[in-house]
A = this chain, B = another copy of it.
Amino acid sequence: MFEARLVASATFKKILDAVKDLLTEASFDCSESGIQLQAMDNSHISLVSLMLRSDGFDKYRCDRSLTMGMNLANMAKIFKCANNDDTVTIKAQDDADVVTFMFEAKKQEKISDYEMKLMNLDQEHLGIPETDFSCVIRMPSTEFARICRDLSQFGESIVISCTKEGVKFSSGGDIGTANVKLAQTNNFDKEEECVTIEMQEPVTLTFACQYLNSFTKATPLAAQVQLSMSDNVPLVVEYQIPDLGHLRFYLAPKIEEDEN
């Protein structure tokens, strides 16, 4: 028997919105410690990693570890039927081929339940090594989304250069060139609006706009985003989900042709 209950279904909606462009289907691994999802995106370029800790749920019971393969577009359709402040309960029997989502309105006079068939998906076990990063940038998630969207008008790639002073995003193409520079914040009044940089050594890496833009679909999940970069290892774009876990995206840098 698996049962997980969360007071605000809005968090699930945001997670589904954040990943449903990258993944059409995915396996949710449920265990005593929580719910985990790890999958390459449909084009096998980037990696999505979601962790929801069991202690972040309002009620959590997982008698035996189980893996539930779900079609994310269908799951998103079901969650669209929930109001943002509905309580959501996810239920499955131990060897079930269905999962049930139950939404309860706050005033409790409306109860909806949706039963969805589970899928058998090939499991890829992906080892993600822990890395020390040369640069770790924290910045407002809306600012990062805005910069990625703005710069993708000018080219297919964005160059991110990080030094102690700040971070520069650049792009270029037929129209011309674009540079956006953010300085590290000195005034720490509003933590959510800060730009902070932890740097071991400066890094300059190039990434495909298309994937960065997909990752920023997670913006509503968190006020800040964290970018971790080192030469020759994938960028990690991380959104902390308050009191519940995190959603991380991994993307390998582009090898510039003229660098050979």
Contact = CB atoms under 8 A, between A and B. Distances in A.
A56 B176 CA distance: 28
A154 B110 CA distance: 19
Interface in A61-86: 71, 74, 77-78, 80-81
Contact of A178 (B71, B114, B175, B177): B114
Contact of A143 (B80, B110, B115, B180): B110
Contacts of A180: 81, 110-112
**A interface, how many residues as a size bin?**
20 to 34
Q: Chain copies in the assembly?
A: 3
A8 interface: no
A179 B74 contact: no
Interface string A103-116: 00000011111111
Contacts of A154: 77, 114
A195 interface: yes
Interface of A: 71, 74, 77-78, 80-81, 98, 109-117, 143, 150, 153-154, 175-183, 185, 195
